[in-house]
Amino acid sequence: MYHLFYKRKELTDEEEQEVCKKCQFCCRYMIEPLNADHSRLEFLKAWGGHRIVTDGENVYSIKPFACKQVTDEGCKIYKERPYWCKQFKGGDTSNVWIPFCRLYEPISEDEKFEMLKKMAPPPLGIGPD
Ligand code: SF4
Ligand code: SF4
């Protein structure tokens, strides 16, 4: 999977878990749009609190401290972690995350070229009428 100029590394679930356990970025510095459905409330409860901020248009929930469940060895409640934590896939769900996410790596110059070629519009005179 490609995102901008990064691609997800090809790792097994177990290997990804090890990478995340060492990184812990998501469990320590989470910013998210506020959406108070049941799964988010479950997540906020597990985290241990949050602060509401707005840029005048959108409302976000920021966590001024790390999740209370995270330890140097990883999540204390990993097997029973909230649904939202189970669904969250770092850079897959937010482009903002990619530069931090160790599940991604920058693509090569050749891959960039191929990707940009695919994104380029067709030459004039070719394409839908
Ligand atoms: S509950 Fe566990 S997986 Fe979810 S943010 Fe906290 S430490 Fe991370
Ligand atoms: S930023 Fe990426 S590697 Fe780090 S904890 Fe989040 S998903 Fe895992």
Query: Ligand 2 in contact with 75 (CB < 6 A)?
Result: no
Ligand 2: distance of its center to the CA of 17 in Å? 9
Residue 128 lies in a domain: no
Query: Ligand 1 in contact with 8 (CB < 6 A)?
Result: no
Q: How many domains does the chain have?
A: 1
What is the pTM assigned to this prediction?
0.70
Residue 105 lies in a domain: yes
Name the residue range of residue 76's domain. Answer: 8-119
Edge to edge, the sheet with strand 31-33 lists 31-33, 59-62, 51-54
Residue 39 lies in a domain: yes
Note down pLDDT in tens along the chain; length 129 residues: 556 788 889 999 899 889 988 988 888 877 665 666 677 778 878 888 777 777 777 777 777 788 999 999 999 999 999 988 888 777 666 655 666 788 888 889 998 888 888 888 777 766 665
Transcribe 13-49 into DSSP letters: HHHHHHHHHHH-HHHHS-EEE---SHHHHHHHHHHT-
Ligand 2: distance of its center to the CA of 92 in Å? 10
Residue 126 lies in a domain: no
Residue 27 lies in a domain: yes
Measured from the Cα of 81, ligand 1's closest atom is: 1
Residue 67 CA neighbour count, 13 Å, CB half: 26
With 0-12 / 13-18 / 19 or more C-beta atoms within 10 angstroms meaning exposed / middle / buried, residue 44 is: buried
